[in-house]
Amino acid sequence: MRKLGGVAIGAGIGILVVVGWFFRPTTSAEWAGWVQTIGVLAAIFWSVRLQSTASRQSLRQAGQVAAMFASHMHWVFRELNDACIKRSWADYSVHRRILQEVLMRGREVTLQLLDGRSLAMVSSLRTIAVEALEKTEGHTESGNWMQLQLYFDRRLPSIAAWLSATGNPPESSGPTDYAGLRTSFGPLGDL
């Protein structure tokens, strides 16, 4: 794309030089016309360049948001899995609430800006998150912890595979904006 733009600019400058060589401006009005033409062409070039830069930046940011969503999903599924192993209702309740927040943020990812793998990853992870929330909806403190733990344990490899397929291997630590996830929470008593 850059080569094509460079060729177009070079051709435009070449045409202006050739035309200017044969039809040299002689009056002040002709000089003004040439200066205006060069100014308009420079403005068009600059606006196309800015649009291209903004487009590339939007694509890059959408990919980063998708990767962050997947990383948060992996982390929260690991934490829910650990809570089920420990049979810790408090940990389970907090991390289920974080899963709701992660899904809400995952729904904010603009799908139109994602490429094939990232688009498939975000769509798949949204589905997995909704399924997990539905599966955990009726879970109580005395519920079947082992079945729920097996559910999370089966989903973790597929989330890690999506992360790896998009060039973002899963990290062992939690989400980088964990504090940001927690700020939107209300009291946990209404779970």
Q: What is the pLDDT of residues 26-82, one digit of tens each?
A: 888 988 888 898 888 888 888 888 888 887 887 777 777 778 888 888 898 899 888
For position 171, what pLDDT does the model report?
A: 63
Same domain, 68 and 45: no
Residue 95 within a domain: yes
Could you tell me the residue range of the domain that residue 75 belongs to?
62-186
Average of per-residue pLDDT across 124-141 = 85
Indicate the pTM of the whole model. 0.63
Contacts of 179 (CB under 8 A, 6+ apart): none
Round the average pLDDT of the chain to a whole number and report it: 78
* Residue 57 domain flag: no
Please tell me the least confidently modeled range out of 2-16, 113-127, 149-163. 2-16
Count of domains forming the chain: 2
Asked if residue 157 and residue 119 are part of one domain, the reply reads: yes
As a whole number of angstroms, the distance between CA 163 and CA 131 comes to 19
To 10 degrees, what angle do helices 89-106 and 116-136 make? 140
Q: Which residues contact 123 (CB under 8 A, 6 or more apart)?
A: 111
